[in-house]
Amino acid sequence: MKRKLILLVGIMVLALGLVGTPTSWANSLTFQGITFGLNLDNGNLVLTMSGQGTGNYTGVTSLDAFAVQNYGSATGLEITGWDTKDGGLNSGGCDGQGNWTCFNGNTVTFPANAVDVNLTITKTDGSFDLSNPPSLKVFFDINGTPCAPGCDLLSKEIPAGSVPEPASLLLLGAGLAGLGIWRRKTNKV
């Protein structure tokens, strides 16, 4: 019994130490088979997209353009090889309308129709802040032809922490294990 109690205490200490650890699942959204993520890495904003397109995204072969909004006070955004413009995104490209930063110009081709994108957005001033859900617009191509109107132009907020953190799951598991040990101990008496 003493070993089980020591194991339970060890698990709880580990879980409490992980509670403050950020999760890699934060700021992500899965839509039509593709997971979109916006995360911070060393002060930069990282856009990731991965998965096999389904529904209207079936067969997408490349990323043509994207736009972000609600990313904090960062200014002078840049991605090597991409053009940066102010304004949103529609089926005609960056439209110059609204409080968005739009990127286009350097098409990213996907291997074997599987979306695989990892782009780092740098800044010259200010800071990125994802505490409010950032918004993302994405425009895909199918074999060099703009996807719209054949498929949807993604325009969604990327929610923060939509999936439970591993530490939360570990705390839940430790609590359930503790209840199980306590119940077993009371049944033996």
The Cα 155–Cα 63 span in angstroms is 14
Estimate the share of the chain in helix, then strand, then coil, as percent rounded to the nearest 5: 25, 40, 35
Identify the residue with better confidence: 95 or 180.
95
**Region of residue 187 (phi > 0: left; psi between -120 and 50: alpha; otherwise: beta):** alpha
Interval 158-174: pLDDT, tens: 887 544 455 555 666 66
- Write down the pLDDT at residue 72: 92
What pLDDT band is residue 30 in, cutting at 50, 70 and 90? very high
User: CA distances (Å), 139 to each of 5, 48, 62, 82, 148, in order?
Assistant: 54, 14, 9, 14, 8
**40-44, 148-152, 155-159 — most confident range:** 40-44
The residue behind tokens 């060099």 is: 144
As given in the structure block, the two tokens for residue 33 are 């088979």
- Write down the pLDDT at residue 21: 43
Query: What's the distance, Cα to Cα, between the start and end of the chain in Å?
Result: 13
Which CATH fold topology does 35-157 show?
Answer: Immunoglobulin-like (2.60.40)
Q: Which of 41, 97, 89 is nearest to 67 (CA)?
A: 89
Question: What pTM, to 2 d.p., does this model score?
Answer: 0.69
The Cα 53–Cα 31 span in angstroms is 9
pLDDT above 70: residue 11? no
The Cα 72–Cα 54 span in angstroms is 32
Phi, psi torsion values for 108, nearest 5 degrees: -100, 115
pLDDT above 90: residue 27? no
Q: Which of 143, 147, 175, 184 is nearest to 12 (CA)?
A: 175
Domain ranges within the chain, ordered by starting residue: 35-157
